[in-house]
């Protein structure tokens, strides 16, 4: 066991010597090929006797040959060319070559192209798509988180948005009173009280009309259902009385099977009423403070914006408010005109609940496009079940005529260029708002899109102006091109 380390060490030394001999033989073979083929000789190396440093491993072994004669016929310590020394198996390494260096590949070896950078190997379109994709994913995640936060505090958000809309409607009245010399507090109180009293009276009038006419409407609805049943039996659709009775029985069974669900919905209705009252009170207090101290609240919000973006936001805020004010006032005027003319048509056609239906048309007009369709369909259904098919067709004609006048004359004239939103954007925003927050979301979706459109347009123009302002001033030929030219026929010295 004591000789095992020595034996292993001897084996390693032997392997090292064998590797050195193989390396020496490879070098000698390469040198012989270079001497025999001039094309393989490296550049800058002339043919003929090799320099001493070319075969240093052989030149250091140029002593006496086995026969005792000098090597190459001379006794010089380094012969220019000693083929015999090249056969020496234990020739040492080159004295000028570092022991750890790797010899360069031969010149006749094929050129290997380097591997390209992985970033450069990816096509440009894929890189652009990847960059846009992860940014869109982050934006979608931020929108999702924002939607979750808004959903959790939906009551407060809807109350604040409703207060903004009411403030946009009442604020011009406050400004008009202040210009007439009324103090700000008194003008705010008068406008606030008058506005909410009018809205309360309208709601009370609708409820009173519904309760006063509900009995007559119920009897007319029953008569209308009976007439509809007789018309179906005599119609070319071949509907039998058994089929109609089966439909009625199925409806009764569905109502009986869902009694518990209806009861729980009634209990939930109490909670909904409490939430609605809370939202109304919150909207009223928010409206009061926005009317009285809106400018100071806006200045406080500007302090929360970073200083680099504060100037742009300060310019976008008033423009957004003007857009919102124009939208609310224009929508109120258009809705009032629709309600008046359609209500007059319902009154002359002797449709019951004409006034409540006109109020519903006014309220549904705050949901663009969709609200007009729903309110018009409701009026046609009431006319159908109470007055017959002819009255329903006449109501449909009145609704379509008023809506055509509204869409082609009233809205462009009243709203003008303050609110420019494409109909496709209106439909998509109403649908998205309805899915997120129900009827309240559908109401506030379009003004939100209109305000966003105004803000984005202003910020784009503002950033372009800032870029031109920060650019270096033109000089030379460029300055001559952009310099203002005198009016045609005028004196350039002027």
* pLDDT for res 199: 85
- Residue 17: which of 122, 89, 119, 96 has the closest Cα? 89
- The whole model's pTM is what? 0.59
- Residue 354: which of 332, 383, 393 has the closest Cα? 383
Asked whether the beta carbons of 169 and 195 are under 8 A apart, the reply is yes
Helix (H) or strand (E) holding 281: helix 259-304
Angle (nearest 5°) at CA 299 between 297 and 302 = 115
Residue whose token pair is 């209106």: 426
Q: Which pair of tokens denotes residue 173?
A: 């009245």
- Residue 380: which of 406, 360, 405, 366 has the closest Cα? 360
181-224 per-position pLDDT tens digit: 889 889 999 999 998 898 888 878 877 877 777 777 667 666 66
Q: CA torsion angle for 239, 245, 246, 251 (degrees, to 10)?
A: 120
367-406 per-position pLDDT tens digit: 777 778 888 888 888 888 777 788 888 989 988 888 888 7
**Residues with Cβ < 8 Å from 363, sequence gap 6 or more?**
335, 371
Angle (nearest 5°) at CA 98 between 92 and 99 = 60
Cα distance from N-terminal residue to C-terminal residue, the chain: 114
How many other C-beta atoms lie within 10 A of the C-beta of residue 188?
25
Conformation bin of residue 183: beta by default, left when phi > 0, alpha when psi is -120 to 50: beta
* pLDDT for res 243: 74
With a cut of 70, list the residues of the chain below it in pLDDT. Answer: 1-5, 8, 37-112, 217-218, 220-224, 237-238, 248-249, 251-270, 415-419, 473-494
The alpha carbon dihedral of 16, 22, 24, 30 has a sign of negative
* pLDDT for res 138: 94
d(CA 81, CA 76): 12
């Amino acid at each position: 066991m004591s000789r095992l380390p020595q034996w292993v060490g001897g084996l390693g030394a032997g392997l090292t010597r064998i590797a050195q001999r193989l390396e020496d033989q490879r070098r000698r073979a390469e040198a012989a090929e270079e001497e025999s083929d001039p094309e393989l000789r490296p550049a800058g190396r002339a043919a003929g006797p090799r320099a001493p440093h070319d075969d240093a491993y052989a030149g250091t072994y140029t002593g006496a040959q086995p026969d005792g004669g000098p090597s190459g016929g001379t006794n010089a310590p380094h012969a220019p060319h000693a083929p015999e020394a090249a056969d020496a198996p234990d020739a040492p390494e080159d004295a000028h070559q570092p022991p750890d260096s790797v010899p360069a590949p031969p010149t006749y070896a094929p050129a290997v192209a380097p591997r390209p950078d992985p970033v450069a190997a990816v096509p440009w379109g894929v890189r652009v798509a990847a960059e846009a994709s992860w940014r869109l994913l982050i934006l979608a995640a931020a929108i999702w988180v924002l939607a979750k936060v808004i959903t959790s505090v939906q009551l407060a958000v809807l109350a604040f948005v409703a207060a903004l809309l009411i403030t946009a409607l009442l604020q011009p009245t406050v400004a008009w009173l202040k210009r007439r010399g009324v103090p700000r507090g008194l003008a705010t109180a008068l406008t606030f009280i008058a506005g909410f009293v009018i809205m309360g009276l309208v709601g009370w009038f609708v409820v009173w009309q519904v309760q006063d006419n509900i009995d007559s409407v119920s009897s007319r609805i029953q008569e209308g259902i009976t007439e509809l049943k007789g018309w179906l039996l005599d119609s070319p659709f071949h509907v039998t009385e058994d089929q109609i009775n089966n439909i009625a029985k199925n409806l009764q069974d569905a109502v009986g099977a869902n009694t518990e669900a209806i009861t729980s919905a009634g209990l939930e209705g109490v909670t909904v009423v409490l939430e609605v009252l809370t939202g109304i009170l919150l909207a009223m207090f928010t409206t009061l403070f926005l009317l009285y101290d809106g400018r100071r609240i806006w200045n406080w919000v500007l302090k929360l914006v970073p200083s680099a973006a504060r100037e742009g936001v300060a310019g976008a805020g008033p423009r957004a408010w003007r857009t919102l004010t124009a939208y609310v006032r224009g929508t109120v005027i258009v809705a009032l005109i629709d309600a008046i003319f359609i209500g007059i048509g319902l009154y002359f056609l002797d449709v019951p609940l004409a006034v409540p239906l006109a109020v519903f048309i006014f309220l549904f007009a705050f949901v663009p496009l969709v609200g007009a369709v729903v309110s018009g369909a409701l009026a046609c259904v009431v006319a159908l079940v109470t007055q017959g098919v002819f009255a329903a067709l006449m109501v449909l004609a009145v609704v379509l005529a008023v809506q055509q006048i509204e869409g082609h004359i009233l809205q462009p004239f009243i709203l003008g260029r303050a609110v420019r939103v494409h109909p496709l954007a209106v439909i998509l925003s109403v649908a998205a708002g309805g899915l997120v927050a129900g009827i309240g979301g559908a109401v506030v979706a379009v003004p939100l899109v209109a305000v966003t459109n105004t803000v984005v347009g202003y910020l784009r123009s503002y950033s372009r102006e800032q870029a031109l302002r920060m650019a270096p001033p033109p000089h030379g030929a460029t300055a001559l091109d952009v310099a203002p030219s005198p009016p045609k026929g005028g004196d350039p010295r002027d």
